[in-house]
């Protein structure tokens, strides 16, 4: 009698957890055919329509995101063209190839699980004016089912009005003004035959009362070798339409060409940040003797 009760208790434990369908009631005061009970329970589980397929993959999964950068210039419309984003999910599945003691092991492979798709656009509401060289740049990404937008560099502190979470039509509104880096090509330099380094400032009128700092390096052009430095220095000046640096006092070799590497930064911080621009180069020119330079 004790053996029979133990067998029935074990059968009830095995059936309790995974079976979602109803199983026949068990009367512990009667003799029970355990084999038949297990057979009936399995059959009932197969008929049950509420069993959900698991999305768990032992090997894991990863997604490859898709991103698009959207940039608005001073004269661009406030709504970008629509664009498509597709993010692919890859699933790693693994299986055993045999007994590890006899050369077997675990083999894994990756397959495409699902590809997500969203159509997106960016609109700036109540758009404020940009300076001629400024741009508002955003990055929209789809990573699996998740859609996201973030600012890369903007002239205003933008807040999200609508969009995201399966709505790719982003609408943004500007907040406070943010100073951007100065125009990297706003000040252009040229070296002439007398070794006068001249610069033209195309945006001087936008920086009233501010100053500029120019960092320069005069170099000799040596083809297929390192270009040696002849002179270097900095110039600080009130903002103006043009600037000049006299480099003629240095020693030059006849027939050799020279050029200037330079970078600028705006001092004042009201219109632009005080960050240095990327280094640029002037034209390469040969030093002209004073008598020839006057002709």
User: How far is it, in rounded angstroms, from Cα 197 to Cα 80?
Assistant: 42
Q: What is the pLDDT of residue 276?
A: 97
What is the predicted pLDDT for the residue at 198?
98
Q: What is d(CA 38, CA 11) in angstroms, rounded to the nearest whole number?
A: 8
**What is the rounded CA–CA span in Å between residue 26 and residue 222?**
97
Residue 255's region, left for phi above 0, alpha for psi from -120 to 50, else beta, is left
- Which candidate, 52, 24, 51, 27, places its Cα nearest to that of 39? 24
**Does pTM surpass 0.75?**
no
Q: What local confidence, expressed as pLDDT, does residue 172 receive?
A: 98
- At 262 the pLDDT is 98
Positive or negative: CA dihedral 29, 33, 35, 40: negative
Assign domain 187-293 to its CATH architecture. Answer: Sandwich (2.60)
In this predicted structure, what is the pLDDT of residue 121?
Answer: 98
Residue pair 35/41 in contact by the 8 Å Cβ criterion: no
Q: What does the pLDDT read at residue 48? A: 40
- For the chain, residues classed under CATH 2.60.40.10 are 187-293
Report residue 174: phi and psi, to 5°. -75, 150
Q: Report the relative pairing of strands 257-267 and 242-246 from DSSP bridges.
A: unpaired
- Residue bearing tokens 């501010």: 210
Q: Is 191 helix (H, G, I), strand (E, B) or coil?
A: strand
CA atoms within 13 A on the CB side of 147: 20
Whole-angstrom Cα distance, residue 122 to residue 134? 18
Question: Over its length of 295 residues, how does the chain's per-residue pLDDT go in tens digits?
Answer: 444 443 333 344 433 433 333 444 444 344 444 345 445 544 544 444 333 333 344 458 889 999 999 999 999 999 999 999 999 999 998 888 888 888 888 888 899 999 999 999 999 999 999 999 999 999 999 999 999 999 999 999 999 999 987 899 999 999 999 999 999 999 999 999 999 999 999 999 999 999 999 999 999 999 999 999 999 999 999 999 999 999 999 999 988 999 999 999 999 989 999 999 999 999 999 998 765 554 5
Of the candidates 256, 259, 260, 261, the residue with the CA atom closest to the CA atom of residue 289: 256
Q: How far apart are CA 71 and CA 26, in angstroms?
A: 71
Residues 6+ apart with CB under 8 A from 23: 15, 37, 40, 41, 44
Residue with the two structure tokens 């960016």: 122
Q: What is the pLDDT of residue 40?
A: 54
Residue found under tokens 């006299």: 246
pLDDT of residue 36: 52
Structure tokens at 64: 């490859």
Going through 134-194 in order, the beta strands assigned E by DSSP cover 135-143, 146-153, 156-162, 169-177, 187-191
């Amino acid at each position: 009698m004790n053996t029979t009760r133990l067998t029935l208790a074990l059968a009830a434990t095995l059936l309790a957890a995974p079976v979602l369908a109803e199983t026949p009631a068990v009367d512990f005061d009667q003799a029970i055919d355990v084999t038949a009970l297990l057979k009936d329970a399995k059959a009932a589980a197969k008929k049950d329509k509420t069993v959900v397929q698991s999305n768990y993959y032992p090997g894991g999964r990863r997604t490859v995101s898709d991103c698009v950068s959207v940039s608005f210039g001073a004269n661009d419309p406030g709504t970008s063209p629509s664009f498509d984003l597709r993010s692919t999910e890859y699933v790693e599945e693994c299986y055993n190839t045999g007994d590890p003691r006899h050369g077997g092991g675990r083999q894994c492979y990756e397959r495409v699980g699902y590809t997500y798709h969203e159509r997106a656009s960016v609109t700036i509401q109540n758009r404020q004016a940009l300076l001629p060289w400024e741009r508002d740049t955003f990055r929209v990404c789809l990573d699996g089912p998740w859609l996201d937008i973030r600012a890369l560099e903007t002239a205003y502190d933008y807040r999200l009005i609508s969009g995201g979470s399966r709505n790719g039509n982003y609408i943004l509104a500007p907040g406070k003004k943010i100073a951007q880096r100065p125009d990297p090509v706003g000040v252009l330099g040229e070296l002439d035959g007398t070794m006068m380094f001249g610069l033209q400032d195309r945006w001087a009128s936008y920086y009233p009362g501010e100053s500029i700092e120019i960092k320069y390096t005069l170099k000799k052009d040596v083809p297929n070798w390192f270009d040696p430095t002849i002179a270097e220095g900095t110039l600080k000046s009130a903002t103006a339409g043009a600037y000049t640096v006299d480099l003629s006092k240095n020693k030059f070799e006849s027939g050799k060409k020279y050029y200037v590497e330079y970078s600028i930064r705006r001092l004042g911080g009201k219109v632009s940040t005080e960050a240095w621009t990327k280094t640029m180069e002037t034209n390469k020119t040969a030093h002209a003797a004073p008598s020839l330079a006057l002709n």
